[in-house]
Structure 1
Amino acid sequence: MGVCWGPVVRVLVLQAAWALGGGQVRYSVPEEAKAGTVVGRLAQDLGLEAGEPEARRLRLVAQGRRASVEVSGASGALVVSSRLDREELCGKSAPCALRLEVLVERPLRVFHVELEVTDINDNAPLFPAARKNLSLSENSPPGSRFPLEGASDADVGANAQLSYTLSPSEHFGLEVKSKDENKILVVLVLRRPLDREMMAEHRLVLTAIDGGRPSLTGTMELVISVLDANDNAPQFNQSVYKVQLPESAAPGTVFFQLTATDIDEGINREIYYSFSDAVSGKVQDLFIIDRKSGEIRTAGDLDFEDVQSYDLEIEARDKGWPPLSGHCSVELEVLDVNDNAPEVWVTSLSVPVPEDAAVGTVVALLSVSDRDSGANGRVRCAVWPAAPFGLVATFAGSYSLVLREALDRERVSEYEVEVRAEDGGAPALRASRGVRVPVSDVNDNAPAFAQAVYTVLARENNAAGAELARLAWAGARWRAGGWRAASSYVSVDAESGRLWALQPLDYEEVQVLQFEVRAVDAGEPPLCGNATVQLFVVDENDNAPALLPAAGGGPGGGAVVAKIRAVDADSGYNAWLRYELWEPRGKGPFRVGLYSGEVSTARALEEADGPRQRLVIVVRDHGEPARSATATLSVSLVEGAEAALAAAGSSSSGAGLRPAAGAEGGAAAAAATNVWLVVAICAVSSLFLLAVVLYGASRWAPRAAVLSGPGPATLVCASEVGSWSYSQRQSRSLCVAEGAGKSDLMVFSPNFPPPPGPAAKETQPEAPALVDTVSAPPLCRLSPLPPSCGSGRPAPG
């Protein structure tokens, strides 16, 4: 052995690795090395000179385990002192390392030495027992498997890797599988059927071989006894049965009938069924198997959404001894039933939505799911109402509620949207989720008046502060107090829209007043709306007729003796005068033209009439109530020569008659006054006619911005909707001689009567306010020039 181990030691001993910092040396030596085997030149590796190891007393101090090496005092070499057994030192641990301390004196120093003991194949495989007895039924089917205990090897590494062989047998074979790195399964497999009558016992040798060089072996004898009796196990016609059952099956439903056969007779062929031990208790709680008939029925409710299939391991065991069993598997597939309605969740909601939000804006994110599968779990979604929102599928089960049409908060301020989900089952199940989507306001509507043009009738002489009309507008959401004067005549209340009179109106001063009314909201930017107001002043009979100097007449015989002249500052019927002879009453010699005012003889004059006649003439207008004036005319009867002189001096023709003194005294002044009166009346009439022409032109001309004209000058209401047209003009001669005639424009309204006050015959009771006041008006103001206003939707009309 010494001759053999020398080369091995020289090959395996490692060169010592001397580290100055740690002072550690490593060596390696195989186990079972003979005593005296040199492991390494320790003194030389530690840097000691010849003779120095003995002088400095180099010695070894063992740590932990018993040391089987020592230091040679003369040479300083590390040698094996006793048997090294790796299995004894380290067991199955690898690698096996011994830690040693080496001391050197003068000066004292400590060195660390690590000695690795390497494994050699010095242990053969070992079975737990040298013999194992097995009892097998003669009717064990081929392929039956019987686990065996394997051998163990105290070595490590390749020396402990085992392989197995079985002595030749026509009935049995060996199957070896690695379960993991450290364990191997050894199974005895029956290749051919057994027959106890031919061979009651089989003796086999199981051999374990390790991987060492040379390899070592271990054996175990197998003694197999063949039992005679129940030699046919129950058999199923299939090893696997596939069954389908809807999840809606009620508890107690039979879904399968087991059938196993046993060709034995008597008690050996009686079979009972049971679940295999591999079936969990939870599953056994859901199903019941009849031990005799083999019927399998449900014991609880099935739920496809929890478990889609069950693998039921069934065992059929006979009553022979030893009992034999057959096995099969029933694979139960649970069929989905549409028993789950879709579910809809709102995962995100962004409200309120501004009314100017762009089309495509995402309002909400929704999640839709159905626990069913297949068609039962396919969900279709829709939104109701279909506008103005829609659904967009983002990915499976997720939808976005988006804006499909423009919003208008003034039309709809809030939407109740319902998201409806329906699955594809038969019958289909449905679910819905309501989403409330309020719309926030944006200043996109300018205040809009109910009418583009308001026509207002106001009686003259109204009290200051009287309400003339109410202007109404739409879309008003803000209030603004205070008055904004449009002129010196009227004002508009900023909150209520009431049109007030600032002072009494006088028809004789102004007949038509037209102005613009503007409503401005408080939005950002502010928006505004305009309306035109046409205020027509309705004449009242507030002026009595005024007498002018009378003109002289001519001789009698039915001729005009004098002419009573009067004017009325009113208009229309209020200015239409009639003349009545108040005194003398009865059949006097004179008469007065009802509308001309001409005083003429009614018959031939007689002496009985007297030399002087006093005539009292009343001038009345047609107002309600009528106003009047009284004129007294003195008529003197003279001879023919005096009459001629009087006619030449006063430019009057009296047919031999002379006017009274009151008339004669003012003749010269009346002539001069009449000239100027005619000039003034002509000038006023011309200006009035020019104003009417310009007003008509402005009504028919195109409107320019907010200062455009009000449209056609329609002054008389002739229909239910408030349209206006001109009345027929009737000219009445209101004065004679030097007094100028006046053409009067009569205004009447069948739909909108004038305000309260003394009414003419042709007028109706006072009309109500044209437009009611709105609840929250915007700022209104009268403006001769329209101020700038924020852009927005134009007011209707």
Structure 2
Amino acid sequence: MQQGNIFRMRIYFLFYISHIWSVAAQIVYSVTEESSPGTTVGNLAKDLHLDVQELETRSFQISGPNTRYFEVNAKTGILLVKDRIDREELCSRNVKCSLEVEAIVNSPLNIYRFEVKILDINDHAPAFRIPGIVLNVSESAFTGERFALPKAIDADVGSYSVKGYKLSQSEHFTLDVQNGGEATMSAEMALQKALDREKQPVIKLTLTAVDGGKPPKTGTLHITVNVQDVNDNIPIFDKPLYKATVLENTPHGATVISVHAQDLDEGPNGEILYSFINQDNDIDVNTFSIDPVTGEITVNGELDHEKSSAVEIRVQAKDKGASSRASHCKVLVEITDVNDNPPEISVTSLVNVVREDAPLDTMVGLITVRDNDSNKNGVVQVRIVYSVPFKIKNTYKNHYSLVVDGTLDRERASEYNVTITASDEGVPSLSSTIVVTVHVSDVNDNAPHFKEPVINIFVKENSPVGAAIYTMTADDPDVDKNAKITFSVNDNHKNNLIGSVININSETGDIVSLQSFNYEELKTFQFKVQATDSGVPPYYRNVRMMSSKHNLYMLTLL
């Protein structure tokens, strides 16, 4: 028995080491978006060091919310593309785009996590949100005056995003591209030669956005310049860039920042009106408003740090002259996080039942916890609320496993309701709670038990043959076949006396006489009755029976 326990402990130790390795060894594959179904992603069985011959018998499969895009060949262990993958649909314009997938094998149960990076292809051309713009430019505009142009949007990222702009040839205008990185690239048109409305009242131009593909894809915007007459000075902002910070729970109407410009002209030509330049109807800009007279920018909608952590607003200052002049500045509003999202707990996998003899660290279920907040507001602590023989282990990033952490006894508790709470580190802290029910299955760990240590049975002589003289009963706290008891006579007498005197029904426990007893010939005899359960291996208990000195037979159970 001791050697068997040592063997089982070694097996459990090897299983534990294998589980730790599977969690730590993160596998990363790469596949380009729009790959055809059936495209090979990688040899999952080989990379996980699994025996291909055992994949089907161990029910090798992948799981998780991203299995709609991938499938695994259970015979070869090859991971394949299952469905069309659109990187832009999955990850929008995030530079990093990867899908987490889980591989599961049984006997023993093990879970492997891996990532599949989705590589971008140049399947989108740059595009402007509007087909064209109209600019009203005074013929007295100074050389060097600049005009903001709409930005092109390209759903692709990285090298396939917008890399530059080109302006059709013009003797009056040149293009200035301000490149502070992919997210802040913008184009401005600068006046390089004075306009003359009488010679050319309308100028038609084309702005072309070019991405980094080979060959590159392009998108165009039509620019119509209406040359207008005389208003000599343009409004000038105090600075070209304003910066402000605002909490995401700032109420409507709260002031964010004020901008200011001045115009040296007099009368209507020097009176300024402020407005947003939002030619492409950016919804983030619409969450703010500006007072047209004072230039005060206030909150006008719901701010959400998780959707947009910063908003760039272009503000125009335009005078009231008959041929109005305008200039613009940039306002960068940073939206800081508040703790407004509780952690989200989801059970991704749960074992139906766990054996009551399950060793420590046996995996019961897998749990994923997410918090959309950032910084400490998104740092989550996961714990079990009440005292149960289970614990939570952090396996990878926001993934946790529920494992056995104590002795299970089905006879004391056949199921446990495990209450799991996830709390973030925000102030005040937000939390979520779920209850996971774990069922405990029976093992044959109890022997049958007779209710009384000694039982006396008296039988009259000359009683009829075949009469039931006593019914044996025994209890077993196990269930099902582990608690099903059979009775038998354990006869060690060489003359087989007991077998000729009594018999016992193995199912009911009825002891039946096989002869009519004669007190003068046989006053006493003893035998053993054995109660055995049907477990594997079975447990049993013996009792010994003997007679009295009277003309009544007494069977004593010990």
Partner of 1:519: 531
Partner of 2:293: 292
- Quote the Cα distance in structure 2 between the aligned partners of 1:475 and 1:291: 83
Q: Name the CA shift for 1:186/1:289 in 2 (closer, same or farther; >3 Å).
A: closer
Displacement of 1:421 in angstroms is 1.6
Partner of 1:456: 456
In structure 1, the gaps of 5 or more residues are 1-132, 148-163, 167-172, 180-184, 195-224, 543-753, 756-768, 771-781, 783-796
- Quote the Cα distance in structure 1 between the aligned partners of 2:356 and 2:147: 82
Asked whether the 8 Å contact 1:460–1:539 carries over to 2, the reply is: no
The aligned amino acid for 1:135 is E
Match runs of 1:388-787 below 5 Å: 388-450=389-451, 453-456=453-456, 458=458, 461=461, 463=463, 465=467, 467-468=469-470, 470-475=472-477, 477-478=480-481, 479=484, 484=489, 487=498, 491-497=503-509, 513-525=525-537, 527-535=538-546, 537=548, 539=550
Asked whether the 8 Å contact 1:459–1:539 carries over to 2, the reply is: no
Displacement of 1:466 in angstroms is 5.2
Displacement of 1:440 in angstroms is 3.1
Asked whether the 8 Å contact 1:287–1:299 carries over to 2, the reply is: yes
Partner of 2:281: 280
- Quote the Cα distance in structure 2 between the aligned partners of 1:516 and 1:289: 100
Q: Name the CA shift for 1:461/1:260 in 2 (closer, same or farther; >3 Å).
A: farther
Identity of aligned residues (%): 33
Asked whether the 8 Å contact 1:447–1:528 carries over to 2, the reply is: yes
Asked whether the 8 Å contact 2:229–2:323 carries over to 1, the reply is: no
Q: Name the CA shift for 1:461/1:280 in 2 (closer, same or farther; >3 Å).
A: same
Asked whether the 8 Å contact 1:455–1:533 carries over to 2, the reply is: no
Partner of 1:370: 371
Partner of 1:235: 236
Secondary structure at the aligned position of 2:454 is classed as strand
Asked whether the 8 Å contact 2:235–2:317 carries over to 1, the reply is: yes
Which entry has the higher C-alpha Rg, 1 or 2?
Answer: 1
The aligned amino acid for 1:532 is V
Displacement of 1:496 in angstroms is 4.1
Asked whether the 8 Å contact 1:455–1:535 carries over to 2, the reply is: no
Q: Name the CA shift for 1:357/1:187 in 2 (closer, same or farther; >3 Å).
A: same
Displacement of 1:315 in angstroms is 0.9
Partner of 2:139: 135
Partner of 2:3: none
Match runs of 1:349-364 below 5 Å: 349-364=350-365
Secondary structure at the aligned position of 2:342 is classed as coil
Secondary structure at the aligned position of 2:323 is classed as coil
Asked whether the 8 Å contact 1:449–1:471 carries over to 2, the reply is: yes
- Quote the Cα distance in structure 2 between the aligned partners of 1:252 and 1:145: 32
Q: Name the CA shift for 1:339/1:345 in 2 (closer, same or farther; >3 Å).
A: same
Displacement of 1:468 in angstroms is 4.2
Q: Name the CA shift for 1:514/1:244 in 2 (closer, same or farther; >3 Å).
A: farther
- Quote the Cα distance in structure 2 between the aligned partners of 1:396 and 1:386: 25
Asked whether the 8 Å contact 1:510–1:537 carries over to 2, the reply is: no
Partner of 1:586: none
Displacement of 1:415 in angstroms is 2.9
The aligned amino acid for 2:236 is Q
Give TM-score, length-normalised by structure 2: 0.52
Q: Name the CA shift for 1:249/1:467 in 2 (closer, same or farther; >3 Å).
A: farther
Secondary structure at the aligned position of 1:537 is classed as coil
Partner of 1:324: 325
Displacement of 1:226 in angstroms is 13
The aligned amino acid for 1:495 is E
Partner of 1:97: none
Q: Name the CA shift for 1:428/1:450 in 2 (closer, same or farther; >3 Å).
A: farther
Q: Name the CA shift for 1:187/1:281 in 2 (closer, same or farther; >3 Å).
A: closer
Asked whether the 8 Å contact 1:455–1:536 carries over to 2, the reply is: no
The aligned amino acid for 2:444 is N
Displacement of 1:398 in angstroms is 1.0
- Quote the Cα distance in structure 2 between the aligned partners of 1:383 and 1:134: 71
- Quote the Cα distance in structure 1 between the aligned partners of 2:173 and 2:539: 104
The aligned amino acid for 1:517 is V
Partner of 1:98: none
In structure 2, the gaps of 5 or more residues are 1-136, 149-168, 179-187, 195-226, 492-497
How many residues in Structure 1 have an aligned counterpart in Structure 2? 348
Partner of 1:348: 349
RMSD: 4.5
Q: Name the CA shift for 1:326/1:446 in 2 (closer, same or farther; >3 Å).
A: same
Asked whether the 8 Å contact 1:505–1:537 carries over to 2, the reply is: no
Displacement of 1:426 in angstroms is 2.1
Q: Name the CA shift for 1:269/1:504 in 2 (closer, same or farther; >3 Å).
A: farther
